[in-house]
Protein backbone atom coordinates (compact mmCIF):
# COMPACT_ATOMS: atom_id res chain seq x y z
CA UNK A 1 0.00 0.00 0.00
CA UNK A 2 3.01 2.32 -0.32
CA UNK A 3 1.30 4.11 -3.23
CA UNK A 4 -2.12 4.35 -1.59
CA UNK A 5 -1.96 8.16 -1.37
CA UNK A 6 0.20 8.83 -4.42
CA UNK A 7 -0.90 12.00 -6.18
CA UNK A 8 -3.02 13.10 -3.22
CA UNK A 9 -2.47 16.43 -1.46
CA UNK A 10 -3.51 16.91 2.13
CA UNK A 11 -3.58 19.62 4.79
CA UNK A 12 -2.66 18.58 8.34
CA UNK A 13 -3.93 20.97 11.04
CA UNK A 14 -2.90 20.59 14.69
CA UNK A 15 0.73 19.49 14.60
CA UNK A 16 2.46 20.80 17.74
CA UNK A 17 5.33 18.32 18.19
CA UNK A 18 6.34 14.71 17.51
CA UNK A 19 3.94 13.50 20.25
CA UNK A 20 0.92 15.00 18.43
CA UNK A 21 -1.73 12.71 16.96
CA UNK A 22 -1.35 14.88 13.83
CA UNK A 23 2.24 13.63 13.56
CA UNK A 24 1.20 9.96 13.54
CA UNK A 25 -1.35 10.73 10.83
CA UNK A 26 1.07 12.85 8.79
CA UNK A 27 3.73 10.11 8.84
CA UNK A 28 1.26 7.44 7.70
CA UNK A 29 0.01 9.64 4.85
CA UNK A 30 3.51 10.65 3.72
CA UNK A 31 4.72 7.03 3.79
CA UNK A 32 1.79 6.17 1.52
CA UNK A 33 2.89 8.83 -0.97
CA UNK A 34 0.79 11.87 -0.05
CA UNK A 35 2.08 15.41 -0.47
CA UNK A 36 1.42 17.41 2.71
CA UNK A 37 0.90 20.96 3.91
CA UNK A 38 0.81 21.88 7.61
CA UNK A 39 -0.83 24.62 9.61
CA UNK A 40 0.34 25.65 13.07
CA UNK A 41 -1.01 27.95 15.76
CA UNK A 42 1.21 30.84 16.82
CA UNK A 43 4.82 31.73 16.09
CA UNK A 44 6.13 29.69 19.04
CA UNK A 45 5.19 26.43 17.31
CA UNK A 46 6.70 27.24 13.93
CA UNK A 47 10.22 26.20 14.97
CA UNK A 48 8.87 22.77 15.98
CA UNK A 49 6.67 22.24 12.94
CA UNK A 50 9.20 23.32 10.26
CA UNK A 51 11.70 20.47 10.87
CA UNK A 52 8.91 17.87 11.23
CA UNK A 53 7.37 18.98 7.93
CA UNK A 54 10.82 18.85 6.32
CA UNK A 55 11.25 15.26 7.54
CA UNK A 56 8.21 14.36 5.45
CA UNK A 57 9.41 16.32 2.44
CA UNK A 58 7.09 19.31 2.95
CA UNK A 59 8.05 22.98 2.97
CA UNK A 60 4.44 24.17 3.11
CA UNK A 61 4.00 25.34 6.70
CA UNK A 62 1.34 27.98 7.23
CA UNK A 63 -0.01 29.83 10.28
CA UNK A 64 -3.65 29.40 11.27
CA UNK A 65 -5.52 30.25 14.45
CA UNK A 66 -8.90 28.56 14.03
CA UNK A 67 -10.45 31.06 16.43
CA UNK A 68 -10.04 33.71 13.75
CA UNK A 69 -12.09 33.60 10.53
CA UNK A 70 -9.60 35.77 8.64
CA UNK A 71 -6.78 33.42 9.62
CA UNK A 72 -8.68 30.38 8.26
CA UNK A 73 -9.46 32.31 5.06
CA UNK A 74 -5.77 33.17 4.65
CA UNK A 75 -4.75 29.53 5.13
CA UNK A 76 -7.12 28.27 2.45
CA UNK A 77 -6.21 31.11 0.11
CA UNK A 78 -2.57 30.04 0.44
CA UNK A 79 -3.46 26.37 -0.22
CA UNK A 80 -5.51 27.39 -3.26
CA UNK A 81 -2.63 29.51 -4.51
CA UNK A 82 -0.13 26.68 -4.06
CA UNK A 83 -2.09 23.61 -5.16
CA UNK A 84 -5.37 24.84 -6.65
CA UNK A 85 -7.07 21.78 -5.13
CA UNK A 86 -7.08 19.63 -2.00
CA UNK A 87 -7.73 15.87 -1.57
CA UNK A 88 -7.91 15.62 2.21
CA UNK A 89 -7.80 17.63 5.41
CA UNK A 90 -7.04 16.49 8.97
CA UNK A 91 -8.39 18.55 11.88
CA UNK A 92 -6.48 17.51 15.02
CA UNK A 93 -7.33 20.56 17.13
CA UNK A 94 -8.96 21.01 20.51
CA UNK A 95 -8.66 23.43 23.38
CA UNK A 96 -10.16 24.23 26.78
CA UNK A 97 -8.99 25.97 29.94
CA UNK A 98 -7.18 23.23 31.88
CA UNK A 99 -8.58 24.60 35.14
CA UNK A 100 -11.95 23.25 33.95
CA UNK A 101 -10.57 19.82 32.97
CA UNK A 102 -10.71 18.81 36.62
CA UNK A 103 -13.30 19.19 39.32
CA UNK A 104 -17.00 19.28 38.44
CA UNK A 105 -18.51 19.81 34.97
CA UNK A 106 -21.35 21.75 36.56
CA UNK A 107 -18.86 24.48 37.52
CA UNK A 108 -17.86 25.20 33.90
CA UNK A 109 -17.88 28.92 33.17
CA UNK A 110 -19.89 30.41 30.31
CA UNK A 111 -16.74 31.99 28.87
CA UNK A 112 -14.78 28.74 28.77
CA UNK A 113 -17.78 26.74 27.55
CA UNK A 114 -18.14 29.15 24.61
CA UNK A 115 -14.41 29.21 23.86
CA UNK A 116 -14.14 25.41 24.03
CA UNK A 117 -17.06 24.97 21.63
CA UNK A 118 -15.63 27.60 19.28
CA UNK A 119 -12.10 26.18 19.04
CA UNK A 120 -12.91 22.47 19.39
CA UNK A 121 -16.22 22.19 17.50
CA UNK A 122 -17.05 25.12 15.25
CA UNK A 123 -13.51 25.22 13.84
CA UNK A 124 -14.03 21.87 12.07
CA UNK A 125 -17.17 23.20 10.38
CA UNK A 126 -15.35 26.43 9.45
CA UNK A 127 -12.52 24.36 7.93
CA UNK A 128 -14.95 22.05 6.10
CA UNK A 129 -16.68 25.04 4.54
CA UNK A 130 -13.39 26.26 3.01
CA UNK A 131 -11.95 22.82 2.17
CA UNK A 132 -15.10 21.76 0.31
CA UNK A 133 -14.48 24.46 -2.28
CA UNK A 134 -11.07 22.97 -3.12
CA UNK A 135 -12.18 19.33 -3.21
CA UNK A 136 -13.29 17.00 -5.97
CA UNK A 137 -15.46 13.90 -5.47
CA UNK A 138 -13.30 11.49 -3.43
CA UNK A 139 -12.20 14.24 -1.06
CA UNK A 140 -11.97 13.23 2.60
CA UNK A 141 -12.06 15.13 5.90
CA UNK A 142 -11.15 13.80 9.32
CA UNK A 143 -11.38 15.07 12.89
CA UNK A 144 -10.34 13.62 16.25
CA UNK A 145 -12.69 12.87 19.12
CA UNK A 146 -12.74 10.97 22.42
CA UNK A 147 -14.99 8.51 24.24
CA UNK A 148 -15.76 11.21 26.81
CA UNK A 149 -18.34 12.41 24.24
CA UNK A 150 -20.35 9.20 24.68
CA UNK A 151 -19.88 8.34 28.34
CA UNK A 152 -18.76 10.30 31.36
CA UNK A 153 -14.99 10.10 31.83
CA UNK A 154 -13.27 11.64 34.86
CA UNK A 155 -12.19 15.28 34.40
CA UNK A 156 -13.11 15.44 30.69
CA UNK A 157 -16.03 17.71 31.58
CA UNK A 158 -16.71 20.53 29.06
CA UNK A 159 -14.45 18.80 26.54
CA UNK A 160 -16.80 15.79 26.59
CA UNK A 161 -19.74 18.07 25.82
CA UNK A 162 -17.70 19.68 23.01
CA UNK A 163 -16.70 16.29 21.53
CA UNK A 164 -20.38 15.21 21.55
CA UNK A 165 -21.17 18.30 19.49
CA UNK A 166 -18.17 17.63 17.24
CA UNK A 167 -19.39 14.06 16.60
CA UNK A 168 -22.86 15.38 15.74
CA UNK A 169 -21.34 17.94 13.38
CA UNK A 170 -19.43 15.13 11.58
CA UNK A 171 -22.82 13.56 10.76
CA UNK A 172 -24.36 16.80 9.51
CA UNK A 173 -21.25 17.62 7.46
CA UNK A 174 -21.28 14.10 5.99
CA UNK A 175 -24.82 14.70 4.74
CA UNK A 176 -24.11 18.18 3.34
CA UNK A 177 -20.85 17.28 1.57
CA UNK A 178 -21.83 13.73 0.60
CA UNK A 179 -23.84 15.11 -2.32
CA UNK A 180 -20.49 16.26 -3.78
CA UNK A 181 -18.79 12.94 -3.09
CA UNK A 182 -16.81 14.30 -0.14
CA UNK A 183 -16.54 12.10 2.96
CA UNK A 184 -16.38 13.34 6.56
CA UNK A 185 -15.35 11.07 9.43
CA UNK A 186 -13.98 11.05 12.96
CA UNK A 187 -11.52 8.87 14.84
CA UNK A 188 -12.23 8.37 18.51
CA UNK A 189 -8.72 7.80 19.85
CA UNK A 190 -7.88 6.19 23.17
CA UNK A 191 -5.84 8.26 25.63
CA UNK A 192 -2.36 9.22 24.36
CA UNK A 193 0.19 11.34 26.21
CA UNK A 194 0.28 14.57 24.18
CA UNK A 195 0.56 18.26 25.02
CA UNK A 196 -3.24 18.67 24.96
CA UNK A 197 -3.78 15.57 27.13
CA UNK A 198 -1.36 16.84 29.79
CA UNK A 199 -4.00 19.44 30.73
CA UNK A 200 -6.49 16.75 31.78
CA UNK A 201 -6.63 15.88 35.49
CA UNK A 202 -5.33 12.41 36.57
CA UNK A 203 -4.38 11.59 32.97
CA UNK A 204 -1.82 8.96 34.05
CA UNK A 205 -4.52 7.12 35.98
CA UNK A 206 -6.86 7.23 32.97
CA UNK A 207 -4.10 5.75 30.79
CA UNK A 208 -3.43 2.95 33.29
CA UNK A 209 -7.14 2.18 33.51
CA UNK A 210 -7.39 1.90 29.73
CA UNK A 211 -4.27 -0.23 29.53
CA UNK A 212 -5.58 -2.73 32.09
CA UNK A 213 -9.20 -2.83 30.94
CA UNK A 214 -9.22 -2.52 27.14
CA UNK A 215 -9.58 -5.78 25.16
CA UNK A 216 -6.06 -5.40 23.70
CA UNK A 217 -4.67 -4.72 27.23
CA UNK A 218 -2.59 -1.78 26.01
CA UNK A 219 -2.85 1.88 25.10
CA UNK A 220 -2.88 3.00 21.49
CA UNK A 221 -0.06 4.98 19.86
CA UNK A 222 -0.15 7.86 17.41
CA UNK A 223 1.03 5.29 14.82
CA UNK A 224 -2.10 3.19 15.52
CA UNK A 225 -4.23 6.29 14.92
CA UNK A 226 -2.17 7.19 11.83
CA UNK A 227 -2.83 3.83 10.15
CA UNK A 228 -6.58 4.06 10.74
CA UNK A 229 -6.58 7.66 9.54
CA UNK A 230 -4.85 6.50 6.36
CA UNK A 231 -7.76 4.12 5.77
CA UNK A 232 -10.39 6.84 6.26
CA UNK A 233 -8.49 9.42 4.18
CA UNK A 234 -7.77 7.02 1.33
CA UNK A 235 -9.93 5.37 -1.30
CA UNK A 236 -10.03 2.22 0.89
CA UNK A 237 -12.85 3.96 2.79
CA UNK A 238 -14.66 5.14 -0.37
CA UNK A 239 -18.00 3.96 1.03
CA UNK A 240 -17.53 5.30 4.56
CA UNK A 241 -18.82 8.68 5.75
CA UNK A 242 -20.34 10.12 8.93
CA UNK A 243 -18.47 7.37 10.81
CA UNK A 244 -16.78 7.54 14.19
CA UNK A 245 -14.03 4.91 14.11
CA UNK A 246 -12.82 3.94 17.59
CA UNK A 247 -9.05 3.49 17.66
CA UNK A 248 -8.91 2.75 21.38
CA UNK A 249 -7.71 -0.86 21.75
CA UNK A 250 -11.42 -1.75 21.99
CA UNK A 251 -12.04 0.13 25.24
CA UNK A 252 -15.46 1.41 24.10
CA UNK A 253 -17.02 -2.08 24.07
CA UNK A 254 -16.10 -2.84 27.68
CA UNK A 255 -18.87 -2.71 30.27
CA UNK A 256 -17.00 -3.73 33.41
CA UNK A 257 -13.53 -3.70 34.94
CA UNK A 258 -11.47 -6.65 33.69
CA UNK A 259 -11.09 -9.55 36.16
CA UNK A 260 -7.31 -9.57 35.58
CA UNK A 261 -6.87 -5.78 36.00
CA UNK A 262 -4.67 -4.88 38.99
CA UNK A 263 -5.79 -2.28 41.51
CA UNK A 264 -4.51 1.16 40.55
P1 LIG B 1 -1.64 18.28 20.68
O2 LIG B 1 -1.47 19.23 21.81
O3 LIG B 1 -0.42 17.68 20.09
O4 LIG B 1 -2.49 18.93 19.51
C5 LIG B 1 -3.51 19.87 19.75
C6 LIG B 1 -3.34 20.93 18.69
O7 LIG B 1 -4.41 21.88 18.72
C8 LIG B 1 -2.03 21.72 18.86
O9 LIG B 1 -1.26 21.61 17.68
C10 LIG B 1 -2.53 23.15 19.05
O11 LIG B 1 -1.67 24.10 18.47
C12 LIG B 1 -3.85 23.09 18.31
N13 LIG B 1 -4.72 24.23 18.62
C14 LIG B 1 -5.27 24.56 19.81
N15 LIG B 1 -5.95 25.72 19.71
C16 LIG B 1 -5.83 26.12 18.41
C17 LIG B 1 -6.26 27.25 17.67
N18 LIG B 1 -7.00 28.22 18.24
N19 LIG B 1 -5.93 27.34 16.36
C20 LIG B 1 -5.19 26.38 15.77
N21 LIG B 1 -4.74 25.29 16.41
C22 LIG B 1 -5.05 25.18 17.72
O23 LIG B 1 -2.61 17.13 21.28
P24 LIG B 1 -3.36 15.90 20.56
O25 LIG B 1 -3.73 15.00 21.69
O26 LIG B 1 -2.58 15.38 19.43
O27 LIG B 1 -4.72 16.59 20.06
C28 LIG B 1 -5.21 16.47 18.73
C29 LIG B 1 -6.70 16.15 18.75
O30 LIG B 1 -6.89 14.81 19.24
C31 LIG B 1 -7.54 17.04 19.68
O32 LIG B 1 -8.79 17.31 19.05
C33 LIG B 1 -7.78 16.14 20.88
O34 LIG B 1 -8.93 16.50 21.61
C35 LIG B 1 -7.93 14.81 20.19
N36 LIG B 1 -7.81 13.62 21.03
C37 LIG B 1 -6.73 13.44 21.84
C38 LIG B 1 -6.64 12.31 22.63
C39 LIG B 1 -5.46 12.10 23.57
O40 LIG B 1 -5.56 11.31 24.51
N41 LIG B 1 -4.33 12.74 23.33
C42 LIG B 1 -7.64 11.32 22.60
C43 LIG B 1 -8.73 11.52 21.75
C44 LIG B 1 -8.81 12.67 20.98
Q: Band of the pLDDT at 126, cuts 50, 70, 90? A: very high
Q: Which domains does the chain have, with CATH numbers?
A: 9-249 (3.40.50.720)
Question: Can 105 be counted among the known catalytic residues?
Answer: no
Residue 186's pLDDT band (cuts 50, 70, 90)? very high
Task: Report, as an integer, the average pLDDT of 114-122.
Answer: 98
For the four alpha carbons of 111, 16, 148 and 168, in that order, the dihedral sign comes to positive
Mean pLDDT of all residues in 183-196: 98
The answer to whether 193 is annotated as binding is yes
Catalytic one among 40, 146, 147, 231?
Answer: 146
* Averaged pLDDT of the chain: 97
* DSSP-derived secondary structure for 199-230: GSTTHHHHHHHHHHHSTTSS---HHHHHHHHH
Interface ipTM:
0.99
C-beta separation of 52 from 15 below 8 A: yes
Total length of the chain: 264
Predicted pLDDT of residue 160:
98
Is 163 within any annotated ligand binding site? yes
Closest CA to 179 of 144, 132, 141, 134: 132
Residues 53-76 as b/e (b if ≥16 CB within 10 A, e otherwise) read beebebebbbbbbbeeeeebeebb
Note the pLDDT tens digit of each residue in 76-107: 999 999 999 999 999 999 999 999 999 999 99
Residue 1 has pLDDT above 60, yes or no: no
Tell the residue nearest (CA) to atom 40 of ligand 1. Answer: 191
Give the atom of ligand 1 at the shortest distance from the alpha carbon of 200: 40
Q: Per-residue confidence at 264, pLDDT binned at 50, 70, 90? A: confident
Q: Is 146 known to be catalytic?
A: yes
Q: Which residue puts its alpha carbon closest to atom 41 of ligand 1?
A: 192
- The residue whose CB lies within 8 Å of the most ligand 1 atoms, and thus the one to mutate among 93, 114, 146, 195, is 93
% of the chain exceeding 90 in pLDDT: 97
- Residues 13-54 have pLDDT tens digits of 999 999 999 999 999 999 999 999 999 999 999 999 999 999
C-alpha 216 – ligand 1 centre gap (Å): 25
Q: How far is the CA of 263 from the centre of ligand 1 (A)?
A: 30
Contact 101, 80 (CB under 8 A): no
Q: Place 116 in a pLDDT band, splitting at 50, 70 and 90.
A: very high
Does 264 show up as a binding residue in the annotation? no
Indicate the top mutation candidate among 147, 167, 192, 196 to test ligand 1's pocket, ranked by most ligand atoms within 8 A of CB: 196
From 40, 147, 156, 251, active-site residue: 156
Ligand 1, atom nearest to 45 Cα: 11
Q: CB neighbours of 178 closer than 8 A, spacing ≥ 6?
A: 184, 241, 242
Give the C-alpha separation, 115 to 252, whole Å: 28
Amino acid sequence: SSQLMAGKRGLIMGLANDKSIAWGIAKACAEAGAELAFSYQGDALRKRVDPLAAQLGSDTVLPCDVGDEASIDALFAAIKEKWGALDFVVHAIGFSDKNELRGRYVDTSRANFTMTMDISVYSFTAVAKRAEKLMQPGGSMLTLTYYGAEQVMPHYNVMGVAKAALEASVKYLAEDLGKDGIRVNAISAGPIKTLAASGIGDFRYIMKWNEYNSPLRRNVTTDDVGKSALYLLSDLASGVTGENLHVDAGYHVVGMKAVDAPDI
